[in-house]
A and B are shown apart, each in its own frame.
Chain A
Amino acid sequence: MNSFRDRADAVSWSDILKSEEPHFIPLPGGFEEKCTQFQKLMILKVLRDEKLIYGIKEFVKKELGHKYIESPPFDLPGAYNDSQNTTPIIFVLSPGADPITYLLGLAKSKGMDQRLKIISLGQGQGRIAEKLIEGGHRNGDWVCLQNCHLSVSWMPELEKIQERQDEATMNPDYRLWLTSMPDRNFPVPVLQSGIKITNEPPKGLKANLKGTFNDITPEDYESCTKPKEYKKLLFALAYFHASILERRKYGAIGWNIAYEWMNSDLITSKTQLKMYLDEQPDIPYAALNYIVAEVNYGGRVTDDKDVRTIKALLKRNFCAEIMNDNYKLSKLEHYYAPTDGKLEDTKAYLNNLPLEDDPEVFGLHPNANIAFE
């Protein structure tokens, strides 16, 4: 307290009280040296409650390491490698998540695409599911039961089936895949014995872009007849996708309605982008803008002001200037479509992006941060 009354220290203290990033300011009055990381966190909590989350990130980073504040990338093959025929793999769904495309991809790479049986649970599907599981035990098919939360009454059956299974008589290739929204009625033993995977659109612009480029194979990246144009526009598209999703966290400042855009919108747009570039001699900017902003993504947009916003946002990315390496995607320095190069180069560029997003990235005023803090 005396340090607060000390005139020399008061300047720094009031800086901390006013700053946008108080968690980076060293404490005055010898506290910086004297305090443990946690004590500093306590001071931050007292002075700037609303910035505590950033302080916690700093705290975890300093005590445990940088790894622990970045979420590990979505890794389905890794989860599969950890599994056995007796372990169910459970996708915990969230709005907008669509793990089935990943599952199909994995099945293909493991040569299981012909032997993957998918059914969506619902009324009367229980019997069929039982039959599939029985068959899977015998001949090693993969069985995928979608939307377990819609079939609460059948869940006890599933629990029994899982309890009865006997590793010795089961085909080692067999895997049970389940998808479910979080639900209290989901049988706990199945949950505990299974590997759980969430697949949310990652948080933050950087993580989202990294996710998009993680899903792209080097072959696909080089496959277009106009490689430079494709790469530039693909980056512009990924940036657009990430930023419209991220804008949602600002509430009404971002969008009037929080739309559930999905990964499938991005994939469709990407396929069409490649098709248009392959088939036409010039880049059809107008058509691309229309099809992406008004058809693919715009199909979900119901509010007329939001329609204007989404069109304007894409227009900044899908334009002739994007081919210029100096063209910035926002007013900030770091964000631009990287120079024509390999997929690895783009990934390396993404790794250097800042972890926290300045609202300016989305064309919003810094005060927009107050809306979600």
Chain B
Amino acid sequence: MAEAEQTAILITKNRESYRPVARRGSILYFVIADLALIDPMYQYSLEFFSRLFNRRLEKSEKSDVLEQRLEILITDVTESFYTNICRGLFERSKLLYSFLNTSSILKRSENITIDEWNFFLRGSATDFSQIPKDIDYVSEPVFKKLLGLEECH
């Protein structure tokens, strides 16, 4: 009984150590799920996603060092989804897809903060119209946007 418990704990521990791969997988999935908003033809089911994901888990290079294996898995999964999905995307959407992947990964790891992301998408909501421009070589709109950027930090 005690042994079984021990084993259970060990299994859980080992399983938990693969969490980063699952995390990357979920990021990639939600980017793909959002693609349908861009074009009605970009439809991918969860089933399609897990099939490819599992295949990569089996086929990718093995390693006895956990750190290395995680590294391999994360790169492999990201790459194979990129190639597979790109096959069905129009040229105009491919860079957008890459960008969404990159920014989602960075958002998850908090290398992009929510404030930064909001500013990037929408700009600042503050009204700067009262502040006079005092840098002569930038234009009026750029000056306003710089004030917004400064506020963001």
Contacts and interface: CB of A to CB of B under 8 A. Distances in A.
A: contact size bracket: 35 or more
B35 to A, nearest CB: 11
A56 B94 CA distance: 12
Contacts of B120: 38, 41-42, 45
A1 B150 CA distance: 7
B112 A36 contact: yes
A42 B149 CA distance: 8
B82 A67 contact: yes
A68 B102 contact: yes
Interface in B138-153: 138, 142, 145-150, 152
Given A42-B116, A42-B149, A46-B149, A196 B41 contact: yes
Interface residues of B, number: 47
Contacts of B87: 72, 75, 78-79, 195-198
Interface string A190-209: 01110111101011000000
Contacts of A42: 116, 119-120, 149, 152
A183 interface: yes
**6 nearest A-B pairs in the assembled complex, by CB-CB distance:** A196-B88, A192-B45, A191-B43, A46-B145, A68-B98, A203-B91
B90 A57 contact: no
A188 interface: yes
B43 A188 contact: yes
Interface of A: 1, 4-5, 10, 13-14, 17, 36, 38-39, 41-43, 45-47, 53, 56-57, 59-60, 63-64, 67-69, 71-72, 75, 78-79, 82, 90, 92, 94, 180, 182-184, 186, 188, 191-193, 195-198, 200, 202-203
B138 A4 contact: yes
A182 B137 CA distance: 47
Of residues B45, B91, B105, B106, which shows the largest number of chain A Cβ atoms within 10 Å of its Cβ?
A: B91
Given A46-B145, A196-B88, A60 B99 contact: yes
B10 interface: no
Contact of B99 (A36, A56, A71, A198): A56
Chain A contact residues: helix, strand, loop or mixed: helix
B44 interface: yes
A67 B137 contact: no
Nearest to A92: B41
B115 to A, nearest CB: 10
A5 B102 CA distance: 33
B83 interface: yes
Given A69-B95, A72-B87, A182 B39 contact: yes
Interface string B59-99: 00000000000000000001100111011111110110011
Given A38-B116, A75-B87, A183-B41, 14 more contacts: A1-B150, A4-B138, A14-B137, A42-B119, A42-B149, A46-B142, A53-B95, A60-B102, A64-B98, A69-B95, A72-B82, A182-B41, A192-B44, A202-B91
